[in-house]
Amino acid sequence: MKIKKFITKELSRIDDDHFSESIKTPLKKDAFKIPDIEKVKLIEQKVRDILDILGMDLNDDSLAGTPKRVAKMFINELFSGLNPTNKPNSSTFINSYKYGEMLVEKNITVNSTCEHHLLPIVGIAHVAYISNGKVVGLSKINRIVDYYSKRPQVQERLTLQIVQELQNILNTKDVACVLDAKHLCVNIRGIRDAQSSTVTSEFGGKFREKEIKKEFLDYIKLEANF
Ligand SMILES: [Zn+2]
């Protein structure tokens, strides 16, 4: 609840023109000067250093491949969404069948990483939009969620980035996202509350209207046994 309140307050202070700047992932200007293949080598050495400082014997068979494995995982998997060249293409289709109601993509897997502790954020996203003449392929919504998840993240920013990307692609403000996720930095360390999860939401355009918002939230609650 606290987080929801925080977001609402933040957004009310930021007018639409400044919206995009405020939700950008903080990246250095020269973030992509070094090619990915070079980054893997550099990170591999740093991971080796960390393990060495911890006192691990890197000559042990089990550990020998770990630095390279971790470096490749950072660049090619966990943080691949930092690099704009990995962004899913944003092709849309004309809404030729004139479907005018909201479309809800439920239970989208979210695997992200908390930028404060570099520990996993694991959860689900529910995304909805009302077409303004354009539609996207369903899996495109999953891919957008995945792309922005694959970064060091905070959940609030992730929620907003997903909504803004779809607003841009679909040329409409009528996009909403609810994200429910467990943060391992809360679950396994610090307060060590294994049960708690965090809900964030962003309702754009018509989704701010009480009835439309309720309809979306009701669909999320629908249980289906497939
Ligand atoms: Zn954290």
- Residue 127: which pLDDT band, with cuts at 50, 70 and 90? very high
Q: Give the pLDDT mean for 23-48.
A: 96
Checking if the pLDDT of 4 tops 70, the result is: no
Compute, in angstroms, the gap from residue 188 CA to the centroid of ligand 1: 10
Whether the pLDDT of residue 26 is over 90: the answer is yes
Query: Of 1-15, 121-135, 203-217, which range is least confident?
Result: 1-15
38 pLDDT more than 80: yes
Name the token pair of 183: 């943060």
Please give the distance, rounded to the nearest whole angstrom, from the Cα atom of residue 216 to the centre of ligand 1.
29
Please report the pLDDT score of residue 21 as a whole number.
58
Catalytic center residues: 114-117, 155, 183, 185
| No. of helices (H) and no. of strands (E), the chain | 9, 7
Give CA–CA dist 26/104, Å, rounded. Answer: 30
Report residue 94 as tokens: 């004309």
In the predicted structure, residue 5 carries a pLDDT above the cut 80: no
Cα–Cα dist 57/63, whole Å: 7
DSSP state, residue 15: -
| Kind and range of the H or E run holding 103 | strand 102-114
Cα 115 to ligand 1 centre (Å) = 6
The pLDDT, as a whole number, for residue 55 is 98
**Model confidence band, residue 91 (pLDDT cutoffs 50, 70, 90):** confident
User: By mean pLDDT, which of 12-16, 99-103, 208-212, 215-219 is the weakest?
Assistant: 12-16
Say how many Å lie between the CA of residue 120 and the centre of ligand 1. Answer: 8
**pLDDT surpasses 50 at 74:** yes
pTM summary value? 0.89
- Cα(158) to centroid of ligand 1, in Å? 14
Q: Which residues contact 16 (CB under 8 A, 6 or more apart)?
A: none
Give distance in angstroms: CA of 176 to centre of ligand 1: 25
Q: Quick check: 107 pLDDT over 60?
A: yes
Please determine, for residue 15, whether its predicted confidence score (pLDDT) is greater than 90: no
Separation of alpha carbons 58 and 61, rounded Å: 8
Q: What digits encode the pLDDT tens for the residues 156-211?
A: 999 999 999 999 999 999 999 999 999 999 999 999 999 999 999 999 999 999 99
